[in-house]
Amino acid sequence: MMLALAMAAGRPVLAQPSAGGGLADGRAVHVFGDLLLDYKVKAEIGTAPRGAPLTDCSNAELFCSRGKVFRFVLPKACVAADKARPGDVWTLGDISTTVLGRRTVAVSSHDTPGPRLLLGDVKRPNVVFEYVPAAGIVGVYVDLVDGRDLVAAAKGAEGERFSQMAGRTDYRPRKSFDSLGACVP
């Protein structure tokens, strides 16, 4: 019944975390292209021959992930996420995530509507996350081969400029139904 109501309203059907929850709550399995994240098993699969360790380091105010590719901090509250602008930084322990730029156009017509923030960390320049606050991380740009500085390219990026440049890298869209780091109203 709820699925039918959500579909009729034209909204994407996404699992929302509880206010005090973390990334390891619920099913805790997420797929981005050929990368699989399993927060229960604590493994990021697809980034190394046998996978890499993955930890949910979330607290009451921030979502936090510690993995090889999926290393980020995001605000849990939509109020904070919706106000994010390029240059803003979220930090928890040794993990920081910077808002690098904004995109207004989705990669695909099937993507969640709304402005997208490009997020990254200068310490890991070959990874840039595409984030929609209400939907969480919707895709990740990763250059595991050439190690190009995607973070520098995404800084201050508007419109499609970053997508055109990064198109040569491997964009991995979210394939699973559950959201990863969606803000809580």
Per-residue confidence at 8, pLDDT binned at 50, 70, 90?
A: very low
Residue 93: half-sphere exposure toward Cβ, Cα within 13 Å: 13
Cα–Cα distance for residue pair 28/43, rounded to 1 Å: 11
Q: Where are the domains of the chain?
A: 29-166
pLDDT at 5 over 60: no
What is the model's pLDDT at position 74? Answer: 97
| More confident call, 142 vs 49 | 142
> What pLDDT digit, counting tens, does each position of 131-164 carry?
999 999 999 999 877 778 889 888 866 545 676 6
Average pLDDT, the chain: 81
Cα–Cα distance for residue pair 50/64, rounded to 1 Å: 23
Judge if pTM exceeds 0.75: yes
Cα–Cα distance for residue pair 69/176, rounded to 1 Å: 17
pLDDT at 45 over 90: yes
Cα–Cα distance for residue pair 98/151, rounded to 1 Å: 9
What is the model's pLDDT at position 175? Answer: 93
> What pLDDT digit, counting tens, does each position of 113-134 carry?
667 899 999 999 999 999 999 9
Q: Output DSSP code: residue 19.
A: T
